A and B are shown apart, each in its own frame.
Chain A
């Protein structure tokens, strides 16, 4: 499949000299179907959409994501260079728009610092299956399976719950997952979401790639429906600027999709922000191929005393570690001193929430008898998550529970890290 890049008027001497106007970009596939058109000039250019169009060659997502870290972007004042390169597979013409100061740095596309088990080794570390069969494991599972085997199993099941059974429906869930992945610049999960989207929109294995291109493919956001656009915009904002979301935005979204789907959406975005950071930081390598399908199998429930041991955690000699500054060298950190932070907590106590909180009596009915806590849960967001979306909430709780059992980290340290993060992103909780 070939795509063409046409650049019109980039040599416009008046616009270039006077306002730095650049020409428009048109990307078309081999049938001359428009894939992406950028606006005229720097301000109207849409680097995200151009990036997505370049990356979204149907059926070639693994190659696309490998190119994603190179392919983009437009930045005001940047030194624009255009380059076309022959990509070997299927003779595709890959278009790469590069800036000397490119704003897209694709995350995680580097060799991991941690040992990567092969599939067989990783499966041997995980709990036995209660149903279903072994599948190819995602690279993050192969990286975590030795250190956190039961946690990895819980994460695989939660990943499958969001990708295969999220109440938003498979199409909107995949679009949303992709939106968060793009916001977090995580090429591997972008590719995963694209693959999920193609499957969700009825793609059949073996069909020619271009025939599988859905009408709502990335790069054609204008064709998405209004509710979809609301959902995607919310997902992006919750990822990048969660503290600026307004009550009115959430109220409008709730009017459109309802409370239960709002919770499903929030939990999907929350999980995606967890997963993207993990994948990006773990580091993967470019040649791992397409992300595997969501896990169809279920693991046997193996408790902490079930015989799956974890490696001993041994702190190394400090002398080998890099030096760390003793002071926070960031003016932004001074923005909220201790007193200001306490004031923000006070206002958080007196505000109204954005969603009705289910009663414990309703929530407890969703919890299997053997897992019910001794005392009623009073944590409001637990009531909300568990009350509206029991499977998704229980899947996350299983991850937390098994991680605590396997890692056994110092809890004061853990909550101090949490404190630093909430302060950093202005989440006054």
Chain B
């Protein structure tokens, strides 16, 4: 597992559920996810590649799908991931073999 998968496991997914979810995310078919989840994924992809291209409509869409306060949560989280990825990419530390996010 990668870190994101380890964290999905800590979030409560067993091996089968985790495998199913990551396969669906990796596919081009996101129809099994809710519209709100899909909107967040699309937003996150756009913001990851070209953060300057995020528009009023993108942010307004988050608000319509999630409500004002939750939209800010989604936005904060999406931005937060870019802290983690820069640390990971810079140091290229070997991926741990066990789920290090779980209590031993």
Tell me, yes or no, whether A417 is within 8 Å of chain B by CB.
Answer: yes
Report the Cα distance A355→B92, complex, angstroms. Answer: 9
Residues of A within 8 A of B60 (CB): 113
Residues of A within 8 A of B73 (CB): 147-148, 313, 403, 407, 409
The answer to whether B83 touches A281 (Cβ under 8 A) is: no
The B-contacting residues of A in range 332-377, CB under 8 angstroms, are 333-334, 336-338, 341, 345, 348-355, 357, 374-375, 377
What residues of chain A have their CB less than 8 Å away from a CB belonging to chain B?
Answer: 105-107, 110-111, 113-115, 143-144, 147-148, 151, 184-186, 238-239, 242-243, 245, 247, 250, 266-267, 269-271, 273-278, 280-283, 310-316, 318, 320-330, 333-334, 336-338, 341, 345, 348-355, 357, 374-375, 377-381, 384-385, 396, 399-400, 403, 407, 409, 411-425, 427-429
The answer to whether A424 touches B87 (Cβ under 8 A) is: no
Report the Cα distance A114→B2, complex, angstroms. Answer: 35
**Chain A residue at minimum C-beta to C-beta distance from B60:** A113
Contact of B85 among A324, A414, A425 (CB under 8 A): A425
Residues of B within 8 A of A415 (CB): 4, 7-8, 11
Report the Cα distance A310→B53, complex, angstroms. Answer: 30
Report the Cα distance A338→B23, complex, angstroms. Answer: 6
Please give me the 3 A-B residue pairs with the lowest Cβ-Cβ distance, nearest first: A411-B11, A242-B89, A107-B52
What residues of chain B have their CB less than 8 Å away from a CB belonging to chain A?
Answer: 1-5, 7-8, 10-13, 21-23, 25-31, 35-42, 44-45, 47-49, 51-54, 56-61, 63-98, 100-101, 103-104
Contact of A113 among B11, B63, B77, B91 (CB under 8 A): B63
Which of A243, A273, A277, A337 is the most central at the interface, judged by chain B CB atoms within 10 Å of its CB? A277
The answer to whether A375 touches B96 (Cβ under 8 A) is: no
Tell me the smallest distance from the CB of B8 to a CB of chain A, in Å: 5
The answer to whether B64 touches A321 (Cβ under 8 A) is: yes
Report the Cα distance A385→B88, complex, angstroms. Answer: 11
**Chain A residue at minimum C-beta to C-beta distance from B34:** A318
The answer to whether B41 touches A416 (Cβ under 8 A) is: yes
Report the Cα distance A334→B53, complex, angstroms. Answer: 23
30 A-B pairs with CB atoms under 8 Å apart are A114-B71, A115-B68, A242-B89, A242-B90, A266-B87, A266-B91, A267-B87, A269-B86, A270-B82, A270-B87, A270-B90, A275-B79, A281-B75, A282-B59, A313-B66, A313-B67, A315-B36, A318-B35, A318-B65, A321-B65, A341-B22, A349-B96, A355-B91, A378-B98, A384-B91, A407-B73, A412-B13, A415-B4, A418-B81, A422-B2
